[in-house]
Amino acid sequence: MEVGGIQALRRWRAEQSGRVGLVPTMGALHSGHQALMTRARAESDLVVASIFVNPLQFGADEDFVQYPRPIEEDLGKCEEAGVDFVFAPALAEMYPSAPEVRVVAGRMGAVFEGAARPGHFDGVLTVVAKLFTLIAPDVTVFGLKDIQQFVLVKRMIADLNFDIELIGLPVVRDADGLAMSSRNEYLTGSDRERALAIPRALDAAAEVAERSRETAESGIGGSSDSGAGPSDVSAGLPAAVEAAALAELEPAAERGDLEIVYCSLVEAATLRPCPPDFTGPALLLVSATVGGTHLIDNLPLEF
């Protein structure tokens, strides 16, 4: 496994042939990141993992300086996962000066995480575009825990005509159900216990959606006077799904266990709120602050 900055990457890349997979990261790697690398290996001949804490995606009051940077541990995890090249550039290499030209995330980047963190997704897309240009991957693998990021990268690939296949890997969870995240390191033991209200909320929402689906399917083929059909069963389902999640989150918030940032069911393609009669792919987006740590999670659904 080779490690280096921009010049080393360019030398290495010029010598390679075959399909290249990219896993962009900010380091502080865990088994969820390694799962992305394993998938990239399955899709590629060569795998590049980037480790770069990108200042453009941190707000003025966020944790850029404190963000964990255990580089030796990270390199070990990359090697375990079979990475061929770790792109670990210095800050001055990626941004010799404050960039005047950036990628703008637009409307979908200004809601949810973008509303709470103005400019965050502009910074994400700018650095991802730089990585795509420098590494020229054939395929890139992103985790679906950061689902808004995934949706925006997908749109950027389409809008800017990057010839790159984008693969999303489902959320990787710890045994207690909490989504794996580098920021979980900030949680105390009691914080983590309180944070479990988030996966419980997603489970409750999934149960409501599944129960409604089963009810709708059981009505198919019934007599014409049997009452509500499938479309009637699903009417108002988005609101019911949200309500089920909030029924878990709001009591936790009232106890002071967490602070709800948002809990919304949206259309997967546009991130707009689902109308009552919506059909198609949807996402339940949840964010909460636990003990000062900002956590996000989501649930994909099909209506």
| Closest C-alpha to 264, from 277, 290, 282, 250 | 282
For residue 92, the Cα-to-chain-centroid distance in whole angstroms is: 27
Instruction: Provide the total of helices (H) and of strands (E) in the chain, helices listed first.
Output: 11, 9
Contact 282, 265 (CB under 8 A): yes
Task: Show Cβ contacts of residue 161 under 8 Å, excluding neighbours closer than 6 positions.
Answer: none
35 is in an annotated binding site: no
1 is in an annotated binding site: no
146 is in an annotated binding site: yes
191 is in an annotated binding site: no
218 is in an annotated binding site: no
| Closest C-alpha to 302, from 177, 216, 187 | 216
| Closest C-alpha to 264, from 286, 244, 247 | 286
Rounded Cα distance between 88 and 94, Å, is 10
Residues known to be catalytic = 33
120 is in an annotated binding site: no
226 is in an annotated binding site: no
223 is in an annotated binding site: no
Contact 281, 184 (CB under 8 A): no
145 is in an annotated binding site: yes
234 is in an annotated binding site: no
144 is in an annotated binding site: yes
And the tokens for 131?
Answer: 């990585």
Specify binding-site residues for (R)-pantoate: 57, 149
Specify binding-site residues: 26-33, 57, 143-146, 149, 172, 180-183
Specify binding-site residues for ATP: 26-33, 143-146, 172, 180-183
Specify binding-site residues for beta-alanine: 57
